């Protein structure tokens, strides 16, 4: 078999966008090329012919992808350093990836968000589902925070930033280079400003009637989690006049929404003191500081301590970080979710509400629900499942990518 043609390894992948200049890569005979034709976004290293030339492609290089019979599959972004060796960019292998191409993708995404929200605070780009594999963009008014978590986007960050400004008119574009995914791609952790200036301190973000303070440079991820917006709203609707405990609260996600809806009181628990400080600032901005309290410490330890103190709440919600970020971590992660349910259930008053959340894509809904129900049972409680929530519509799912449906929220009446 003739080896796929590739350019020299020192070619700049950000400039090699003209179809005539692109190398060709090929899938293995037993690889599922049909899945790619039907919209699957990733090609794994064990599905592709990886010879010496392919291994020497610079991360971010664009290539024409063919099946084993040399039939075209589309345009793919390569990274020989990653298990996901190819990310599909377009079904047309002749597509040119330039600023106009980025502008088209961003314009389509912006049109959807304009239908969903009346203020510019949302996830603007949700990676593969919005046609920009590995790219996350959260918008905070006149500022966008970009996470280019794939090599192809990282080397084209300047082009992406220019397109973002042209389409949205934002004044500031920040690059956030933190996160596990960039490490898996072999990318650096150097963040910076690609347009405009850094915001002066945390930004107030209105959502569900509450005010959240987002630290766009020093906070977790992009500074705020927009994905829980509909679940915050669902829980808040049941908290009027009630006592609320928000565990793994970050900057006050569930607790501030509950106060905005008329909760009697809300306590936020988190292991991050800076996050709790931002939550307190948010409560103060809402003039709700007298109804708001925080507890800094490990969530598992704090739940146990609250029980020993005889504490009781009408609504308890636990929104932990990913306990099962991969299949390898699944069993340990499910045990952790079960333990959270077991520790939280005794704090819920009779006929009260327990909300349990998971952002682990490796733990599907059935596995997570089973672990949660087991934990509730081992705490000596019984409950009915009132509602199952998912990420908001600004976090669309790609049907061919199970990982895009990562968020699950379960609400029980105990």
Mean pLDDT by 10 residues, the chain (414 residues): 39 58 94 94 96 94 96 97 96 96 98 97 97 97 96 97 98 91 89 94 96 91 93 97 98 98 98 97 98 98 98 98 90 97 98 97 95 98 97 95 91 98
Q: So what's the architecture of 19-90 in CATH?
A: Roll (2.30)
144 tagged catalytic: no
Q: Give the per-residue pLDDT at 1.
A: 35
Q: Give the per-residue pLDDT at 65.
A: 97
Q: Give the per-residue pLDDT at 220.
A: 79
CATH 3.40.50.150 in the chain is located at 203-413
- Distance CA(294)–CA(354), nearest Å, equals 19
Q: Give the per-residue pLDDT at 10.
A: 39
User: CATH number of 99-195: 2.60.40.650, 3.30.750.80, 3.40.50.880, 3.40.1410.10?
Assistant: 3.30.750.80
CATH 3.30.750.80 in the chain is located at 99-195
Which of the residues 144, 318, 357, 359 is marked catalytic?
359
Helix H or strand E segment including 214: strand 210-214
Tokens 């960039």 identify what position? 182
Query: What sign has the CA pseudo-torsion 215, 216, 222, 228?
Result: positive
Inter-residue long-range contacts of 377-384, CB under 8 Å, 24+ positions, other chains counted:
378/338, 378/342, 379/341, 379/342, 379/343, 379/344, 379/345, 379/346, 380/345, 380/346, 381/345, 381/346, 381/348, 381/414, 382/414, 383/345, 383/354, 383/412, 383/413, 383/414, 384/412, 384/413
CATH 2.30.130.10 in the chain is located at 19-90
Domain 203-413 has CATH 3.40.50.150: yes
Q: Give the per-residue pLDDT at 18.
A: 59
Pairing state between β 172-175 and 192-195: antiparallel
**3-class secondary structure per residue, 340-409:** HHHHHHHHEEEEEEEEEEECCCCCCHHHHHHHHHHHHHHCCCCCEEEEEECCCCCCCCCCCCHHHCCCEE
Q: Give the per-residue pLDDT at 4.
A: 41
State the maximum Cα–Cα separation within the chain, in Å, rounded to a whole number: 73
Q: Give the per-residue pLDDT at 19.
A: 61
């Amino acid at each position: 078999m003739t080896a796929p043609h590739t350019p020299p390894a020192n070619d700049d992948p950000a400039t090699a966008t003209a179809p005539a200049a692109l190398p060709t890569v090929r899938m293995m005979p037993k690889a599922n090329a049909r899945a790619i034709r039907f919209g699957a976004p990733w090609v794994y290293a064990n599905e592709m012919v990886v010879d010496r030339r392919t291994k020497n492609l610079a991360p971010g290089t664009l290539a024409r992808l063919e099946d084993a019979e040399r039939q075209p599959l589309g345009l793919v972004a390569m990274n020989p350093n990653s298990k996901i060796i190819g990310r599909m960019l377009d079904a047309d292998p002749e597509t040119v990836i330039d600023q106009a191409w980025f502008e088209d993708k961003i314009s389509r995404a912006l049109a959807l968000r304009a239908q969903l929200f009346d203020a510019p605070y949302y996830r603007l780009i949700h990676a593969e589902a919005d046609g920009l594999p590995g790219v996350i963009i959260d918008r905070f008014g006149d500022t966008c925070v970009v996470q280019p978590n794939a090599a192809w986007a990282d080397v084209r960050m300047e082009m992406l930033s220019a397109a973002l400004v042209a389409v949205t008119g934002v004044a500031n574009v920040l690059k956030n280079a933190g996160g596990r995914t960039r490490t898996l791609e072999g990318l650096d952790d150097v963040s910076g400003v690609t347009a405009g200036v850094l915001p002066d301190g945390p930004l107030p973000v209105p959502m569900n009637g509450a005010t959240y303070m987002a630290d766009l440079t020093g906070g977790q991820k992009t500074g705020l989690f927009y994905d829980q917006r509909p679940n915050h709203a669902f829980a808040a609707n049941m908290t009027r006049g009630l006592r609320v405990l928000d565990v793994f609260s970050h900057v006050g996600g569930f607790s501030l929404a509950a106060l905005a809806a008329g909760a009697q009181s809300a306590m936020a628990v988190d292991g991050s003191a800076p996050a709790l400080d931002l939550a307190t600032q948010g409560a103060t901005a809402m003039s709700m500081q007298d109804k708001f309290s925080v507890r800094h410490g490990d969530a598992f330890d704090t739940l146990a301590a609250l029980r020993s103190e005889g504490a009781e709440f009408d609504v308890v919600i636990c929104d932990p970080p990913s306990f099962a970020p991969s299949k390898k971590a699944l069993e340990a992660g499910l045990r952790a979710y079960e333990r959270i349910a077991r520790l939280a259930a005794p704090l819920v008053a009779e006929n009260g509400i327990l909300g349990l959340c998971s952002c682990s894509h490796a733990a599907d809904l059935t596995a997570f629900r089973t672990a949660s129900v087991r934990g509730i049972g081992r705490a000596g409680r019984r409950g009915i499942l009132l509602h199952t929530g998912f990420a908001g519509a600004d976090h669309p799912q790609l049907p061919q990518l199970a990982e895009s449906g990562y968020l699950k929220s379960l609400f029980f009446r105990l």
